[in-house]
Structures are given as C-alpha cells and as structure tokens.
Amino acid sequence: MSDHDHQHRTGEPAPESATAARLFDVRRIIGGLFVVYGVIVTLAGFTASDADLAKAQGININLWTGLGMLALGLFFLVWLKLRPALPPTAAELDEAAPAGTSDGSAH
C-alpha cells in the first residue's frame, strides 16, 4: 500500500511519510549545522592567541561569531521543537494534485 493510498483511505498520512517529514525538516539541518560549527568556532575563540586578537583590533571575533552561530542554531532547534512540521492533509494533497489523478484509481 502506498502512502497516497493510505492517506485516501484513512484521511491521515502514512506513518513513514510523517516520519520523513519530521526527519528532513530544513530547520533541523540548519540548526544542527549552526550548532556544530558554532561549537568549533567558539572553541577557536577560546584558544585565540595575542596575534589573532591583534589582527582583529583586539576583538575576539571567533568567540563572538561562534556564540552568534550557537544562538542561531539553538533558535532553529527550539523553533522545530515548539512548532513541528506537519505532513499535508488529504484535502491539501487533493488540491495540489493535477486534474484527473485524485479519482482513486491505481497508480
């Protein structure tokens, strides 16, 4: 039984498509990457030498950029947790389907 057939019978998306929708939510990918790179850049900021600070006119740019990246990544992950992605409903899929494909015939 395909995801589309399951949705037409029950009015709900198949469990596999709901899991895939949550797994590949772009907020998870963006948030995760920003957190990982933020940790790396923040650690580089903690280990900055005097020469590195002199190049940036005394500002620890790696530390501040890393903290900003961490904050942005955490924002995306919190947003994902508070407002999870919902798969489209049967009515939304029927509206988006080209004419003649929602007649219930086998695909």
DSSP the chain: --HHHHHHHHSS--HHHHHHHHHT-HHHHHHHHHHHHHHHHHHHHHT--HHHHHHTTT--HHHHHHHHHHHHHHHHHHHHHHS---PPPHHHHHHHSPTTS-SS---
Instruction: Check whether 21 has a pLDDT greater than 70.
Output: no
Question: For residues 78 and 34, is the Cβ–Cβ distance under 8 A?
Answer: no
pLDDT per residue as tens digits for the range 10-19:
555 566 666 6
Report residue 105's pLDDT band, with 50, 70 and 90 as the boundaries: low
Nearest to 4, CA basis, from 48, 12, 100, 27: 12
Max Cα-Cα span within the chain:
71
pLDDT band at 106 (very low <50, low <70, confident <90, very high): low
Task: Average the pLDDT over 25-51 and give the result.
Answer: 94
For the stretch 41-97, pLDDT in tens is: 999 999 999 998 999 999 999 999 999 999 999 999 999 989 887 777 777 777 777
CA distances from 65 to 10, 35, 45 (A): 49, 12, 9
φ/ψ of 78, rounded to 5, equals -70, -40
Residue 37 has pLDDT above 80, yes or no: yes
User: For residue 40, what pLDDT is reported?
Assistant: 97
What residue segments make up the domains of the chain, in order of their start? 34-84
- Rounded to two decimals, what is the model's pTM? 0.63
How confident is the model at residue 25, as a pLDDT? 82
